[in-house]
Amino acid sequence: MQNQTRFVFRQSAIYSVGNILSKLSGVLLIPLYLKYISEEEFGIVSLFETIAQFIMILSGWGVRAGFSRWYHEFKTRTEQKQLFFTAYVFNFVSSILAVILIGAILFFFSGGIFKTEISADIILYFSLGTLFRLLFDMPFFMLRIQQKAAQQTAWYSMNIILVLIFSFVFLEFFDLGLKGIYLGQFVAHFFTFLPMAPLIWRNFSFKFRSDVLRKLLQYGLPLAISNILTTILTLSDRHIINQYQNLSEVAGYSMAFKISNLIQVVVIASVLTGFTNYYFKTLHSENSSLFYQRIVRYFTVLITLGGLAVVLFSPEIIYVVSMGSEFFQTSVIIVPVLMLGMIFSGLRQLFALPLNKHKRTRRISMILVISAVINVAGNFLLVPWIGKMGASISTVVAQLFALIWFFSEAGKVEEIKFSRWRNLLLIIIWCLMAWGGMQLFELPFFSGMLLKLAVVLAFVLVLFVTGHINRDEIKEAGSLYRNIRNR
């Protein structure tokens, strides 16, 4: 089992490189954006981000989820290539249709959506950039399933670097403002897709399998429908804030969300990417259930410890990212609330794996849709009253609801050793330490930094006391780190 753990965390460490680069690029782009656009325009960028996420969900119709679930069920390389060809052709057509549909809606109704007029050029560049992002997303997904972490990360890193370069060029030298942001993304995604064409071609076996497509859709379509509804409802927070408040409030919420999302990008996405592919590959192994229990405990340690660190140092992170903007310092207050939602979300995604294993996709869909409805209802109730804090509280309540239900359903299909009271105690202590750490924000810089580090170390001791980690596992983690570093 130690070898399994090392393999998963080695894969996760490699994926985290690309995820960290992605977040770092976002951090580097924010001051670049804010140099050329206003806080209100930054709010527009945040709204476009939610629309891009919706297009990505809309375009797949569950085929990517089905592709992930069934890839290792096909034993021959020819069958796997036919599966990829079938999935890619479907994804190609559905992506074009999704981009055309959303692009047309933006063209005719941008004034109502953004509460300000958006030029046709910006909508065109945004649509084309999103399309090319979708076209190279499927090969990225294939490399992930094949557990070619280094190769997938290399391609991902290249795309990030291109986005940084072209965004800088169009903003700094051409002074195109919002138009430059989306022109830069379009050119970067195009020049990422172009060199990937040979990779896509090599993994094709030119036989469209309608029987395979039916199987992919039967598995993935319930998830897709729920994901589309969930995306509409959960990403609506920024749009509801815009409708009831203003674009400046959207910008403040988005800044806090990006800081909280550090734990999603660096820890949650990396570990889940590394583990999920391995989990489906070893579905029928004898010790797969025991290994899953171990990953759940390690995952809990990583997201709570990492999340606390991000919360405590959020004022410094925001100060650097926003180039000292006083406007964005007010976002610090909602970072711990959003971070708690991120922790619940990460655990919820991990508890969904046993349900995927046993093909309980309809139940997954039902939970996600109901939790999303709770989220949007909370937004309508709280945002007019307390603005971005209301959206943050709604997110936490909805994620907690989904986590509890997923845990309950997962326990019905597999035995999960996850102590409710011990982990409830851990979350309560986490909240108290996050609140206590926030009282240090007003202290002088160096004394505040030392005390924050002390709080993080104190939480490590809490993890020992609650039994989430022990001394032998610390030694094993050190050995794993040295092995990864030496490679």
With beta carbons less than 8 A apart as the criterion, state whether 180 and 35 touch.
Answer: no
Which two tokens mark 445? Answer: 């810089």
State which amino acid sits at residue 231: T
Of 333 and 272, more confident: 333
Other C-beta atoms within 10 Å of 140: how many? 19
Among 261, 291, 254, 257, CA closest to 276: 291
The pLDDT, as a whole number, for residue 44 is: 94
User: Which of 39-48, 244-253, 450-459 is predicted most confidently?
Assistant: 450-459
Q: Half-sphere exposure of 336 toward its Cβ, with a 13 Å CA cutoff?
A: 19
The pLDDT, as a whole number, for residue 131 is: 96
User: Which of 75-79, 203-207, 277-281 is predicted most confidently?
Assistant: 203-207
The tens digit of pLDDT for each residue in 304-332 reads 999 999 999 999 999 888 877 888 888 99
Residue 230 has pLDDT above 70, yes or no: no
The tens digit of pLDDT for each residue in 96-133 reads 999 999 999 999 999 999 989 899 999 999 999 999 99
Provide the H-helix boundaries in 115-175: 120-145, 149-168
H and E: helices and strands count for the chain: 20, 0
The pLDDT, as a whole number, for residue 391 is: 93
Indicate the range of 86-90, 266-270, 378-382, 383-387 predicted with least confidence. 266-270
Indicate the range of 200-204, 244-248, 483-487 predicted with least confidence. 483-487
Q: Give the Cα separation of 219 and 473 in Å (integer).
A: 38
With beta carbons less than 8 A apart as the criterion, state whether 280 and 147 touch.
Answer: no
With beta carbons less than 8 A apart as the criterion, state whether 370 and 426 touch.
Answer: no
The tens digit of pLDDT for each residue in 348-389 reads 988 888 888 777 878 888 898 899 889 989 999 999 999 999
Q: Which one-letter DSSP state was computed for residue 117?
A: -
The pLDDT, as a whole number, for residue 19 is: 53
Q: Give the Cα separation of 101 and 400 in Å (integer).
A: 34
The tens digit of pLDDT for each residue in 42-51 reads 999 999 999 9
Indicate the range of 17-26, 33-42, 414-423 predicted with least confidence. 17-26
